[in-house]
Chains A and B, each alone.
Chain A
Amino acid sequence: MDPLSTRRAAVAALLLSFGPVLRALEPSQPTESQIKAAFLLNFTKFIEWPAGEASAPGTPFPICLAGEDPFGGFLDQLVEGENVNGRKIAVRHLHGEPQGTCGILYVSRQEKNVPELLAAAGPGVLTVGEGDSFLDEGGMIAFVLEDRRVRFNIDKSAAQKAGLKLSSRLLGVARTVR
């Protein structure tokens, strides 16, 4: 076997082994924000909310987006037809106004007064943000990038304090759990 074909074979093997990653980079593959939007939606399937305002039957399950919409309306499309415990999902875009009732509060990277937002979120609200510092500021789930892959860290005790029950499967796929 000549050196050239050997190298070619090695490249092919490399390509194959990183298949999913490479595919994620393809144009047709979802973008980082799209993935995060999907994760937001998927969180609802692994978390139990306590009985309360946010989970009143008959009312839509509110996902609140604080600040500028990082998903560019993608989340709105995504939740179409989805539900949480039989409740429709409604995406609410907060632009500085009081939160009101939220099931999930997503705090984007652009938000400056994170602690305020977090303090305003009452019990029974899952707070999701960006970066490890988000957990330090009192958030529950923080998206992080690892090897160009979207992953998340979880502060389990914060979630528990808020009365949320996180599925062990969710904890299983988290990058770190504190």
Chain B
Amino acid sequence: MSLALTFRPMLSRRIQDVPIRRKLLVITVVTTAAALLLSGAGIVLADSFLFRGYLERDLSALARMTADNSTAALQFEDPSAASEILHALRARSHMVAACIYRPNGTVLAQYIRTGAPDACPPKNTPEGIEFTKGGLVLSRPVLLLDRPVGSLTLLYDLDEIGERMRLYGATVLLVLIAASLIAFVLSSRLRELIASPLAQLVQATEAVSRTGDYGIRARKVSGDELGVLVDAFNQMLTSIQSRDLELLEALEAREEALRQSRDARDQLAGLNADLAQSNEKLGRSNEDLERFAFVASHDLQEPLRMITLFSQLLVRGHSGSATDESAGYVRNIVASARRMRDLLSDLLAYTDIGSGSLDSAQPVDLNQTLGHVLENLKASIQESGAVISTGPLPALRAHEGHFVSLFQNLIANAIKYRSGGRPEIRISYGRGNGWLRFAVRDNGIGIEPEYHTKIFVAFKRLHGQNIAGTGIGLAICQRVVDRYRGKIWVESEAGKGAEFIFTLPEELLAPEE
């Protein structure tokens, strides 16, 4: 069992690896042999069956004839005549013995084949035909005019059956050899029919895989399944070829695109580097500039104070003696010095906004901040008679000084650029969409839309020397709002007042206590 299990896969694998033309040969020979062996076995079986019947009939006829012939010999007690009759049987080489018995059972005559040891058996064989171990035993009465006058017994060996088997076996073997030879010869023709189209295909396949050239085509030899296979193979090659081409083109296109994008990226990187460099340079120079402005404005304050002090002393000490002209000069000096002081303080404030960290910011109640601002502006408010109304304002985490500067500049501007009547200033606050919105509205002279952005640039002034100002106020406002990541803009038309609006991110709200 295990042998058969291991043997079968081994055999089948071995057969599978054999070239097709040898398979064809094997198939042809095996089929032929199987058919022959089967038919041979069938013939032998049928013959051994039929032959017994034939043998029976043949021997029966022979026995009957012999019996008929031996009637006279029996009747006239003639053993020699009987012997003569029996000796005619020696032509049958398989006849072992033939005996003629008298009616009383004694032997009248017998034929014993030379070499056969047995004499005639005693006459006790039942009539009829019987296959025994030794062979066929046939016994029949000798009848004369339907009356028994003796009996006949024939002994026939069955070597003939074996002989016939051997003959058939030899015949089958010979035919088998001949058929195998013919099959072998035929298989070369079959090879032409099947193996050579296959070989074509195999050649083409090998050529394609060796060279990678999909332009190769297999030659179609036959119109059968192999022909279909060749067609399909060629079709496959065609489609592979076209796809290969497409792939190649796509690859090239992609490489081109890659190259271009690499170039673009390189360019961009260069630009970015340049930009970063110039940005850095710019930042550095800006920083230098601010430091310079801070240092200059800070250090200039002290001599300016001296100038102011001594000018005032001059005005006070010589108030009686000095001419009106010189007194006027000194007053001008004082006024200029004051203006210069304002300018320096604004500059300081401006530069101060950029310095310092917001981390140190403290909660600032803008209502209080606004109170400080109004206190600071008390003089000009009283002078202008301005009416300032305000709603409740939130508390922010911030430096209070920044918001003092912011509100003070906006309110001072609103008062400063008033139209003829009493200035009315409304400060409002709202919240929405993640933003805190502040507005400072006035009823002043308004700003023409074309200047709405320019006014936030330092030292850009619309009204020249008519109205006092450093030209830094709105720049400071812009800078504060920027510092807190907010936006500031103005909505206004000439003669219709202005509304300065700034928004700040909600995160600035101080946590409520």
Q: A169-B69, A172-B81, A173-B81 are in contact. Are A42 and B75 (CB under 8 A)?
A: yes
- CB atoms of A20 and B72 under 8 A apart: no
Q: How far is the CB of B150 from chain A (nearest CB, A)?
A: 12
Q: How far is the CB of B347 from chain A (nearest CB, A)?
A: 170
Q: How far is the CB of A57 from chain B (nearest CB, A)?
A: 17
Q: How far is the CB of B104 from chain A (nearest CB, A)?
A: 10
Q: How many A-B residue pairs have CB under 8 A?
A: 40
Contacts of A173 in B (CB 8 A): 72-73, 75-76, 78, 81
Q: Which A residue sits closest to B109, measured CB to CB? A: A20
B77 at the interface (CB under 8 A from A): yes
Q: A20-B106, A45-B145 are in contact. Are A172 and B73 (CB under 8 A)?
A: yes
Contacts of A152 in B (CB 8 A): 76
Q: A20-B79, A173-B78, A173-B81 are in contact. Are A46 and B106 (CB under 8 A)?
A: no
11 A-B pairs besides A20-B77, A172-B72 with CB distance below 8 A are A20-B79, A20-B108, A42-B76, A45-B71, A46-B72, A46-B75, A150-B77, A151-B76, A151-B78, A169-B69, A170-B72
- CB atoms of A149 and B77 under 8 A apart: yes
Q: How far is the CB of A62 from chain B (nearest CB, A)?
A: 19
B36 at the interface (CB under 8 A from A): no
Contacts of B129 in A (CB 8 A): none
Mark contacts of A31-44 with chain B using CB atoms, 8 A cut-off: 1 yes-contact digit, 0 otherwise.
00001000100100
CA distance A92 to B106 in the complex (A): 34
Please report which residues of chain B, range 91-149, place their CB below 8 angstroms from some CB of chain A when the two chains form the complex.
Answer: 106, 108, 144-145
Q: Which residues of B contact A (CB under 8 A)?
A: 68-69, 71-73, 75-79, 81, 106, 108, 144-145
Q: How far is the CB of A47 from chain B (nearest CB, A)?
A: 11
Q: How far is the CB of B108 from chain A (nearest CB, A)?
A: 8
Q: Which residues of A contact B (CB under 8 A)?
A: 19-20, 23, 35, 39, 42, 45-46, 149-152, 167, 169-170, 172-173
What are 25 of the A-B contact pairs (CB < 8 Å)? A19-B106, A20-B79, A20-B108, A23-B106, A35-B77, A39-B76, A45-B71, A45-B144, A46-B72, A46-B75, A149-B77, A150-B77, A151-B78, A167-B72, A169-B69, A169-B71, A169-B72, A170-B72, A170-B76, A172-B72, A172-B73, A172-B81, A173-B73, A173-B75, A173-B81
Q: How far is the CB of B414 from chain A (nearest CB, A)?
A: 174
Q: Which B residue sits closest to A149, measured CB to CB? A: B77
Q: How far is the CB of B89 from chain A (nearest CB, A)?
A: 16
Contacts of B75 in A (CB 8 A): 39, 42, 45-46, 173
Q: Which B residue sits closest to A30, measured CB to CB? A: B77
CA distance A39 to B72 in the complex (A): 10
Q: Which B residue sits closest to A41, measured CB to CB? A: B75
Q: How far is the CB of A133 from chain B (nearest CB, A)?
A: 21
Q: Which B residue sits closest to A23, measured CB to CB? A: B106
Q: Which B residue sits closest to A42, measured CB to CB? A: B75
Contacts of A167 in B (CB 8 A): 72
Contacts of A46 in B (CB 8 A): 72, 75
Q: How far is the CB of A176 from chain B (nearest CB, A)?
A: 13
Q: Which A residue sits closest to B75, measured CB to CB? A: A42
Contacts of B79 in A (CB 8 A): 20
CA distance A170 to B145 in the complex (A): 14
Contacts of B145 in A (CB 8 A): 45
Q: How far is the CB of B332 from chain A (nearest CB, A)?
A: 192
CA distance A39 to B75 in the complex (A): 7
CA distance A152 to B76 in the complex (A): 9
Contacts of B78 in A (CB 8 A): 151, 173
CA distance A45 to B72 in the complex (A): 9
Contacts of B81 in A (CB 8 A): 172-173
Contacts of A20 in B (CB 8 A): 77, 79, 106, 108
Q: B75, B79, B144: which has the most chain A beta carbons within 10 Å?
A: B75
Q: Which A residue sits closest to B73, measured CB to CB? A: A173
Q: How far is the CB of A166 from chain B (nearest CB, A)?
A: 10
CA distance A167 to B77 in the complex (A): 16
Q: How far is the CB of B380 from chain A (nearest CB, A)?
A: 182
CA distance A152 to B75 in the complex (A): 13
Contacts of A35 in B (CB 8 A): 77
CA distance A76 to B108 in the complex (A): 27
Contacts of B69 in A (CB 8 A): 169, 172
Q: A19, A172, A173: which has the most chain B beta carbons within 10 Å?
A: A173
Q: How far is the CB of A150 from chain B (nearest CB, A)?
A: 8
CA distance A21 to B118 in the complex (A): 22
Q: B73, B76, B77, B144: which has the most chain A beta carbons within 10 Å?
A: B76
